[in-house]
Amino acid sequence: AAYWRGHAANFCSAGRRSSLARAWNLGLDAAKGDWAVLLAQDALPAHPRWAARLVAAMADPQVAAAFGRRVARVGASPPEAPRTLKLARRGDFDRLDVDGRAAFCRFESACACVRREVWRKAPFRALAGAEGVAWARAALLSGHALVHVPSAEVYAAPSAHPLADWARGVRAAARAAVL
């Protein structure tokens, strides 16, 4: 929170035992305006324009969300150009295998800008590591687009917890089940 002193930012807390989906939903509900920028508690913007880059990607009303990328603090690869993910037809999604669906439903919650109108129709659901994937899938299947903005980078601390690899596996299984 110290980083944000002097910036136009609002904070809300879902409590220690809340799900990620509950935290996102509370934040989006409390927000004002057409979109809200989300930033994970362990993420620190990599440069001053990260949020502006996310918001710029929201110019097209068909875009449900724009999201950046997490980078390691040392030796991060250079950013790529923004990439829009949108289905031409719903049947296109149904024809994809699980890996193709996973690539399409990519959503990085560490830093994102979400169109509140789309969120109101499909709030985040608590799904143990698959909240973002499930929301991205709902947004895409309702005809919206997602924009990946790699230049909207945040530094995120990797987990050093001994169960981190196991937890990553559980989240991957949950994401696959949603797709």
**What integer pLDDT is reported at residue 14 of this predicted model?**
64
pLDDT category, 1, cuts 50, 70, 90?
A: very low
pLDDT digits (tens, 9 = 90+) for 123-167: 998 887 788 888 999 999 999 999 989 888 888 765 555 555 545
As a whole number, mean pLDDT of residues 28-51 equals 86
What is the spatial distance between Cα 15 and Cα 156, in angstroms, rounded to a whole number?
Answer: 21
pLDDT at 76 over 90: no
- Residue 152 half-sphere exposure, CB side, CA atoms within 13 Å? 26
Residue 98 C-alpha from the chain's centroid: 19
What is the spatial distance between Cα 24 and Cα 13, in angstroms, rounded to a whole number?
Answer: 10
**3-state DSSP assignment of residue 96:** coil
- End-to-end Cα spacing for the chain: 35
Distances (CA, A) of 98 to 105, 113, 122, 139: 10, 26, 22, 17
pLDDT digits (tens, 9 = 90+) for 86-99: 888 878 888 888 88
pLDDT at 41 over 80: no
pTM: 0.74
